[in-house]
């Protein structure tokens, strides 16, 4: 029992449940496929930058992350004031929700999607309007538009969507943005965008035969829609999840307000340095992202052959819509040394080394045959 008073909103706020580590299993190597981490080693240049910046732990980092912010602004060809760096995209997301939502307002988001959305929205006291996904785990943008109310301050979009992997197309995004009230902020969470085919920018092509659109051209989006903010992270394609560094691109007015929420010094010097080094080696990151994409598409195809209707994914993960059997499948994986993520409606599996994926397909084959 506590004898202090907390805000009523907390009663409704779920705590974040992180992906489980694998349980050790005699005689086999265990793999963690439950947190959408990158399974490859970090870039040597990033490691070197971390070591270089680790020599001054007695000093606070640059609170404005000036050099990284300038590098990001140059990379995205936007003014410096359109970028803010944060401790992961998570801190940027919390800031965006924090500057807009409060009790008496509402926030619209797709569901299932990133688990932090309901958590952070609830925390503010705002009402959660969770809009169910459409076929193949795609966001139902017309339904999300319908769900916007007078008191709605924010809409969250996630593309590729975690956990289903669906990528939003340019045309549906434009139709959506043209109809959203101008005073409602729209956040496009692109944590996984570098893994999506066609992420190099060609907006309207059908990127592969598996029915995935190329991702939205968010640079054009930012220039076109003043109420759009784009969230990115170094945790996924750049493989720097442990360092906690991400950023937001938006109009200076939005960035200015976010700075009031983001904790000073939240991005450490090694994190800033590693992100900058990684950004300078984007060609290598692109090669690795493509390799992850190949493993992902092979995994999805093999799981479909086994009989699981895995939707096309643009992330570093695939979605197994197993419904009520999700826990049973997650348990079977754990017993074989693989930690996967049961999210209730299905199981999300992060791309890992070939051996882990081969084992997963074997487990799935036996499981479906039961
Ligand atoms: C969709 C999505 N957005 C944002 C994040 C936050 O990433 P980070 O805080 O590590 O940058 C994640 C992490 O899993 C995610 O899945």
Q: What is the CATH number of the domain that holds 137?
A: 3.40.640.10
Kindly give the distance from the C-alpha atom of residue 241 to the centroid of ligand 1, in angstroms, as a whole number: 9
Name the DSSP class of 213: B
d(CA 96, CA 93): 5
CATH number at 298 reads 3.90.1150.10
Q: What is the per-residue pLDDT for 200?
A: 53
- Nearest alpha-carbon partner for 108 in 14, 8, 185, 170: 185
Which residues of the chain have a pLDDT value below 50?
A: 201-210
Positive/negative CA dihedral, 291, 278, 165, 197:
negative
**CB of 31 shorter than 6 A to ligand 1:** no
Residues 89 and 211 reside in one and the same domain: yes
Kindly give the distance from the C-alpha atom of residue 191 to the centroid of ligand 1, in angstroms, as a whole number: 6
SS3 letters across 170-192: HHHHHHHHHHCCCCCEEEEECCC
Phi, then psi, of 237 in degrees rounded to 5: -60, -30
Q: Examine the fold and report which residue of 258, 280, 302 is the final residue of a domain before the chain moves on.
A: 280
Q: What is the per-residue pLDDT for 77?
A: 92
Residues 262 and 343 reside in one and the same domain: no
- Pocket probe for ligand 1: among 236, 240, 242, the residue whose CB has the most ligand atoms within 8 Å is 236
Contact 237, 350 (CB under 8 A): no
Q: What is the per-residue pLDDT for 15?
A: 87
Q: Would 1 be classed as within a structural domain?
A: no
Kindly give the distance from the C-alpha atom of residue 235 to the centroid of ligand 1, in angstroms, as a whole number: 7
Q: What is the per-residue pLDDT for 199?
A: 66
Kindly give the distance from the C-alpha atom of residue 26 to the centroid of ligand 1, in angstroms, as a whole number: 33
Q: What is the per-residue pLDDT for 208?
A: 42
Kindly give the distance from the C-alpha atom of residue 307 to the centroid of ligand 1, in angstroms, as a whole number: 30
Kindly give the distance from the C-alpha atom of residue 200 to the centroid of ligand 1, in angstroms, as a whole number: 20
**CB of 235 shorter than 6 A to ligand 1:** yes
Residues 141 and 62 reside in one and the same domain: yes
- Pocket probe for ligand 1: among 17, 90, 163, the residue whose CB has the most ligand atoms within 8 Å is 90
The residue segments making up the domain with residue 59 are 44-280
Residues 31 and 88 reside in one and the same domain: no
Strands (E), the chain: 31-32, 83-86, 106-111, 127-132, 152-158, 185-189, 228-233, 246-249, 317-320, 338-339, 341-342, 347-350
Residues 227 and 177 reside in one and the same domain: yes
Contact 155, 146 (CB under 8 A): no
Task: Calculate what percentage of the chain has a pLDDT beyond 70.
Answer: 96
**CB of 85 shorter than 6 A to ligand 1:** no
Residues 237 and 322 reside in one and the same domain: no
| Ligand 1: residue whose CA is nearest its atom 3 | 191
């Amino acid at each position: 029992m506590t004898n202090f008073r907390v805000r009523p909103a907390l009663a409704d706020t779920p705590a974040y449940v992180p992906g489980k580590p694998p349980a050790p299993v005699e005689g086999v190597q265990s793999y963690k496929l439950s947190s959408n981490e990158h399974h490859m080693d970090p870039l040597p240049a990033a490691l070197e930058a971390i070591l270089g910046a680790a020599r001054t732990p007695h000093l606070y980092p640059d609170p404005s992350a000036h050099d990284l912010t300038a590098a990001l602004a140059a990379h995205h060809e936007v003014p410096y004031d359109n970028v803010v760096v944060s401790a992961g995209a998570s801190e940027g997301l919390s800031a965006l929700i924090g500057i807009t939502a409060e009790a008496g307002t509402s926030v619209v988001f797709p569901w299932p999607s990133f688990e932090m959305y309901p958590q952070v929205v609830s925390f503010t006291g705002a009402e959660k309007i969770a809009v169910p996904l459409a076929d193949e785990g795609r966001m139902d943008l017309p339904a999300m538009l319908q769900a916007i109310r007078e008191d709605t301050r924010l809409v969250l979009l996630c593309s590729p969507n975690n956990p289903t992997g669906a990528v939003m197309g340019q045309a549906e995004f434009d139709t959506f943005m043209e109809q959203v009230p101008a005073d409602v902020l729209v956040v496009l969470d692109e944590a996984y965008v570098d893994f999506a085919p066609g992420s190099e920018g060609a907006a309207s092509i059908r990127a592969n035969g598996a029915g995935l659109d190329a991702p939205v051209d968010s640079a054009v989006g930012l220039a076109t829609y003043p109420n759009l903010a784009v969230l990115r992270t170094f945790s996924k394609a750049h493989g720097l999840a442990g360092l906690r560094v991400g950023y937001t691109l938006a109009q200076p007015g939005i960035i200015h307000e976010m700075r009031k929420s983001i904790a000073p010094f939240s991005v450490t010097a090694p994190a800033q340095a590693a992100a900058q080094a990684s950004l300078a080696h984007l060609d290598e990151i692109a090669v690795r992202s493509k390799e992850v994409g190949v493993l992902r598409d092979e995994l999805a195809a093999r799981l479909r052959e086994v009989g699981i209707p895995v939707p096309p994914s643009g992330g570093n993960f695939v979605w197994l819509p197993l419904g009520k059997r999700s826990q049973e499948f997650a348990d079977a994986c754990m017993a074989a040394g693989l930690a996967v993520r049961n999210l209730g409606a299905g199981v999300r599996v992060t791309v890992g080394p070939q051996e882990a994926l081969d084992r997963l397909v074997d487990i799935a084959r036996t499981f479906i045959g039961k």
